[in-house]
Structure 1
Amino acid sequence: MPRPLPILGLNHLALAVRDTKTSTAFYRDVLGFREVERPPFDFPGAWLVGYGIQIHILETEYAYEGGDQPNSRADHYAFAMADTSELIEILNEHGIPFIQRVNAGNIHQTFFQDPDGHSIEVAVYPADPPFLD
């Protein structure tokens, strides 16, 4: 059996984007992260924090090229919530299209995209999901 590492948790997501201001506004105004001071790197970007994690926005000409709809079977990241009704209100207010479904594990999922096409999932899990350690 492999020996587990003493990993404390997920520290940050690093996202390649085309426009720092647009992406920062999305993660701040739609998902509720707040911008914090970032070290003086020699490339544009922003750091945001919230919910115990960080998002590092990295502006680059090699930004992610997502499709025209969220893809749950490709690269994506997921947040857990107890209820998504407020999220749905915010997505509608900002005109952000989304897809909702309930999968076989009774997980209620909402998928949408950020301005660069990164697919985002927000999931409501059963009270005691047997598959989470």
Structure 2
Amino acid sequence: MAIQRLAHFTVRTTALRDTVRFYTEVLGLREGWRPPFDFPGAWLYCGGDTPEHAAVHLIVGEAGDHGGAAVDHVAFNASDLSGVRSRLRAHGLIYREQVVPQLGLHQLFCKDPCGVTIELTFAGVDDA
């Protein structure tokens, strides 16, 4: 067996609407089709519109329900650094930035409404 790519990550939230708004309005994912589970949640899409493009699954519940563990951060490749900065400021979000030495990568870190750190990585960005 060989890992091919990240399928999705799941976040438990007690504030579903706020969490959906963060991932859609701030990060630019799209809310889409979700199977008819017997518990509330949302699937958020990146790229195409088929279930394999559902990058983030949201489930209503407390962190730690069903044995869930902490996640340090989740990283996305991104573009339009200045536009992302503007959206974060418009939503009143605190963020930090750093440059990865020798790789030409600019990283921006913020937190979602559940406290999960989100890393956005911009390739070939020179400004800090």
Q: Note the alpha carbon deviations across 1:67-105, whole angstroms, 9 max, x for none.
A: xxxxxxx71011112441110010011111100111323
Cα distance, 1:44 vs. partner? 1.3
Identity across matched positions, percent: 37
User: SS at the partner of 1:16?
Assistant: strand
- Map of 1:1-133 to 2, 5 A cutoff? 5=2, 7-51=3-47, 53-54=53-54, 55-62=56-63, 75-105=72-102, 106-126=104-124
Structure 2: gaps (5+ residues): none
Could you list the structure 1 runs, at least 4 aligned residues long, displaced by more than 6 angstroms after superposition.
none
In the aligned structure 1, how far is the partner of 2:91 from the partner of 2:17?
16
Distance, in Å, in 2 between the alignment partners of 1:82 and 1:48 is 18
- Number of aligned residue pairs: 116
In structure 1, what residue type is equivalent to 2:13? V
Q: State the one-letter code of the partner of 2:117.
A: S
Q: CA deviation at 1:8?
A: 4.0
Q: Residues 95 and 47 of structure 1: is their aligned pair in 2 closer, same or farther, counting only changes over 3 Å? A: same
RMSD value, Cα: 2.5
* TM-score of the aligned structures, taking structure 1 as reference length: 0.75
Structure 1 counterpart of 2:111, one-letter code: Q
SS of match in other structure, 2:86: helix
The answer for unaligned runs of 5 or more in structure 1 is 67-73, 128-133
1:51 is displaced (CA, Å) by 3.2
Larger Rg: 1
